[in-house]
Amino acid sequence: MEEKMKKLLMATVVTSCMAALSTTANADGTVTVYTAVPQNFIDSLVPMFEAQTGTTVEIIKAGSGDLLNRLTAEADNPVADVLWSVDGTVIDFNPALFEAYEAAGTDALADGMKPSELWSPFTAVVMAFIVNENKLDGLPIPKSWSELADPKYDDVVSSAKANASGSSYIQLATVLQAYDTEEAGWKVYKGLLSNFVLSDSSGAVPRFVNDGELAIGVTLEDAALRYVEGGGPVQIVYPSEGTAIVPDAMTLIAGAPNADNGKAFLDFMLTKEAQTVVAEQGRRPVRADVASNPALQAISELPSVGYDGAWAAENRKALVSAWEDLVLDIE
């Protein structure tokens, strides 16, 4: 009887171990990534990671606002492992949804590229104007935020919505930080908003300008560069009062079902190899030992507002609410 019980116990242990190994094998095979990153980064970086690790990456791509809503709805039963390439304030403002993890390679980061303990930087994003001079109809090329706020640019400026797009929230926070007082920033921003033709998609902004539907767009530098390098009739302008030079974020989801693979994905994105691809694709790398794309103006020469990401994160809810009220007033 005792021998029979021993065999039964041994069989149970073996079965349990096999089940555990089977679960681990399945988990080791995939990583689910929610991202707002442009498609060219997915196409160039994800196959590299898959080839090096043997892990299959499942991508869910949407705007940062939609991704946050999805993560909130799934909080009790997470589906995703990683949130990749969003405005860091999205993460800092919703800390319960994420798990702090410092990706390998942070010791090689350039100064100012690690502003949060909750996430690691993926790239440094820069706000800029994309201008199609052929569609200005005699208007001068705007050189500053205040100039772009002039009513003469009414209905010729493309922008995404600050309550739906992480990059457009950065745009709002940048303008508010570009002047001596927040009140002065709001005065300029109100003029900008009056001129904007708003879009739900930040990716649509440079396309509208390149295609001649609108003359000017406020967008990320790398999005504009893709059209410049593609031979489009557009140019990049940096506002003279200053722009944002700020890291975008990537992090681990709290309760990630494949957390180890998520960590490996984050580690890979900070390797020198991956950051070199980042530069080739037109974004600013965050590693100090990787140079920016030579087609871009040197980052040391850019007018910078000294973007305060902590302030932007702390005030996100209030600023977005104020933006929504302003939109209603203008409409």
pLDDT in tens, 240-258: 999 999 999 999 999 999 9
Give the pLDDT band (50/70/90) at residue 58.
Answer: very high
Q: CB-hemisphere CA count at 13 Å for 89? A: 27
Quick one: 2-124+248-300 is in which CATH superfamily?
Periplasmic binding protein-like II (3.40.190.10)
pLDDT at 300: 86
Residue 184 neighbours by CB under 8 Å, 6+ apart: none
* Superfamily of domain covering 125-245+303-330: Periplasmic binding protein-like II (3.40.190.10)
- 154 has a pLDDT exceeding 80: yes
**Contact call for residues 57 and 41 (beta carbons, < 8 A):** no
Taking residues 92-105, report their average pLDDT.
94
142 Cβ neighbours under 8 A, 6+ residues apart: 129, 131, 148, 150, 153, 216, 237
> Stretch 72-93: mean pLDDT, rounded?
95
Q: Got the DSSP string for 304-325?
A: B----HHHHHHTHHHHHHHHHH
Helix axes 316-330, 166-177, angle to 10 degrees: 90
As a dihedral over the C-alpha atoms of residue 288, residue 34, residue 324, residue 314, rounded to 10 degrees, the angle is -50
What region, left, alpha or beta, does residue 252 occupy, with left being phi > 0 and alpha being psi -120 to 50 degrees?
Answer: beta
* Gyration radius of the chain's alpha carbons: 23
| pLDDT greater at residue 331 or residue 329 | 329
3-state secondary structure of 263: helix
Q: How confident is the model at residue 180 (pLDDT cuts 50, 70, 90)?
A: very high
244 phi and psi, to 5 degrees? -90, 135
User: Could you tell me the pLDDT band of residue 8, with boundaries at 50, 70 and 90?
Assistant: very low
The Cα 61–Cα 52 span in angstroms is 22
Q: Higher model confidence: residue 63 or residue 2? A: 63
* 297: region left, alpha or beta (phi > 0 left; psi from -120 to 50 alpha): beta
Report, as an integer, the average pLDDT of 42-63: 97
Please say whether the dihedral angle defined by the alpha carbons of residues 286, 287, 293 and 298, taken in this order, is positive or negative.
Answer: positive
pLDDT class of 28 with cuts at 50, 70, 90: low
Relative orientation angle of helices 272-280 and 39-53, to the nearest 10 degrees: 160
Per-residue model confidence (pLDDT) at position 37: 94
Length of the chain counted residue by residue: 331
pLDDT of residue 65: 87
**Paired tokens of 126:** 């820069």
227, pLDDT greater than 50: yes
Cα(185)–Cα(326) distance, integer angstroms: 14
Q: What is the pLDDT of residue 213?
A: 97
pLDDT at 115: 76
- Give yes or no for residue 47 having a pLDDT over 70: yes
Q: Which run of H or E residues covers position 125?
A: strand 120-131
pLDDT above 70 for 17 = no
What mean pLDDT do residues 18-27 have?
Answer: 34
| C-beta separation of 272 from 48 below 8 A | no
The Cα–Cα gap between 269 and 86 comes to 14
pLDDT of residue 325: 97
Q: Is the pLDDT of residue 9 over 70?
A: no
Beta bridge pairs of residue 243: 304
**Which tens digits make up the pLDDT trace of 101-153?**
999 999 999 988 887 899 999 999 999 999 999 999 999 999 999 999 999 99
Mean pLDDT along residues 176-204: 96
Beta bridge partners of 30: 56
Segments making up each domain of the chain, as ranges: 2-124+248-300, 125-245+303-330
Compute how many other C-beta atoms are within 10 angstroms of the C-beta atom of residue 319: 21
Q: What is the pLDDT of residues 266-318, one digit of tens each?
A: 999 999 999 999 999 999 999 999 999 999 998 889 999 999 988 998 999 99
Domains 2-124+248-300 and 125-245+303-330 share a fold: yes
For residues 55-68, average pLDDT: 94
